[in-house]
Amino acid sequence: MENSIYYLVREPKTKREKNPLLLLLHGYGSNEEDLFSFASELPDEYYVISARAPYSLGYGSSYAWYAIDFTADEKRFSDLNQARNSREIVSALIDQLVSEYPIDKNEVTLVGFSQGAILSYAVSLSYPQKVKQVAAMSGYLNPEIMVDGFEKNDFGKLRFYISHGSVDQVVPVDWARKSKPFLDGIGIESIYKEYPVGHGVAPQNFFDFRNWLLEK
């Protein structure tokens, strides 16, 4: 399987022997520049790496982690095979980055927006040994794109920051609200917050996420 996907890197301003990693996964129809625009606001000790999704949508610099049918319901919304393929690509990318950069493999954080958030759930719940924490913004949890038997994984060190716009017109807030009860059910620590916005990251949301990141 082709795993070499394009990404942008912001080196840590504070270099250690091994630094933590923030891996940014953008939303449908966007690209690696989108979340990377936040890089200067993120803590200095992190490698900030923003990945470009593998599927080109064929217009401009628009990419997707998998195809979406916006007219369908929650069950038929996603191309699950493409989603599972992207899950494996991101999992392999984590291994690649840890081997190529002085990154602490025990300090990997996924930050996903929208489709990137959906994928962040899939990667972290499928391979919790590779991910310490996840910020899932404006997405939802879809168990169908996890590896088979993921429920048996050891989730002891995993934690989540989940946020959503209460008037999101792209990913309904009802879908997002199911995530915390699901995570509670498999023993994963999480925080869930809503903001009075649509499909986007409010300034207060970013501020709360950054504080969560600094909590350790």
The H or E element that residue 88 is part of is: helix 80-100
Quote the number of domains for the chain. 1
96-146 tens-digit pLDDT: 999 999 999 999 999 999 999 999 999 999 999 999 999 999 999 999 999
| The model scores a pTM over 0.85 | yes
Domain membership of residue 86 (yes or no) is: yes
140-197 tens-digit pLDDT: 999 999 999 999 999 999 999 999 999 999 999 999 999 999 999 999 999 999 999 9
pLDDT of residue 2: 46
Domain membership of residue 1 (yes or no) is: no
Report the relative pairing of strands 55-56 and 63-64 from DSSP bridges. Answer: antiparallel
pLDDT of residue 68: 83
Contacts of 130 (CB under 8 A, 6+ apart): 91, 94, 95, 105, 108, 123, 124
Domain membership of residue 2 (yes or no) is: no
Mean pLDDT of the chain: 93
| CATH number of the domain encompassing residue 173 | 3.40.50.1820
pLDDT of residue 87: 97
pLDDT above 90 for 78 = no
Domain membership of residue 158 (yes or no) is: yes
pLDDT of residue 1: 39
Measured between alpha carbons, how far is 203 from 208 in angstroms, rounded to an integer?
A: 9
The one-letter amino acid code at 59 reads Y
pLDDT above 70 for 74 = no
Domain that holds residue 149: 7-215
Measured between alpha carbons, how far is 201 from 183 in angstroms, rounded to an integer?
A: 22
Task: Give the distance from CA 149 to its chain's centroid.
Answer: 21
Domain membership of residue 113 (yes or no) is: yes
